[in-house]
Amino acid sequence: MNSNVTLCVGQLFQSINNTVCNLARISGLIILFVKGFVSYLNGCVHMFMLLVISIIRYGTVLPTNKTKKYFQQHSFISAVICWLIALIFALSPLFNWNKYLPEGLGFHCGLNWSDRSISSRLYLILAFSFVYFIPLILLSTVTIYIYCVIRHLHQVLRMNRQQPFNKLSRKNRLLVKKAFTATA
């Protein structure tokens, strides 16, 4: 009888130990999924915010004040739109468009790149297009345009070097100031 009680108590401790280990593993996977979600969301938000910042910089270099007024009045909305688009892309893997899986040694979690399903491929194509390629192309285009405007203004200043700076037209002086503040 004594050995039966010992076996029962041993089995009880074993089942408690297994339950605790399984709960730790499940909570560890949940923490990994949350970590993957937060990392991916953070990357998407940063990419979209860089795009908005470069568009604002583009608006400050333009000679019109319409874009400057727009972004002064709608800067909060621009940030909210960036977060919403990033949330759409980061929440999609949680709804089986793709999955967050542990990477490498299992300490980090990322997207499942090797999934061959149609929904996963579609998600990866959309994510690469709208989170990486389109913002990268727009960032590059805006930066090249700003560079060309500043280069043109430097050429105008170089050509007018014989004239004192205060003889330049007021419009050119404002453009030079805007260009230098946009690059700073």
pLDDT of residue 102: 78
Fold classification of 2-183 is Rhopdopsin 7-helix transmembrane proteins (1.20.1070)
pLDDT of residue 174: 66
**Residues 6 or more apart in contact with residue 178 via CB below 8 angstroms:** 60, 61
CA distance 20 to 154: 69
**Residues 6 or more apart in contact with residue 80 via CB below 8 angstroms:** none
Radius of gyration for the alpha carbons in the chain, expressed in angstroms and rounded: 28
pLDDT of residue 139: 92
User: Could you read off the pLDDT tens digit of each residue along the chain, which spans 184 residues?
Assistant: 444 555 565 566 566 655 655 555 666 777 777 888 888 888 888 899 889 888 888 877 776 667 667 777 777 888 889 899 999 999 988 887 888 887 777 667 788 888 888 988 999 999 999 999 999 999 999 989 888 888 888 888 777 765 555 555 666 666 666 666 655 5
pLDDT of residue 22: 58
CA distance 153 to 171: 11
pTM of this structure: 0.69
Token readout for 123 is 């998600």
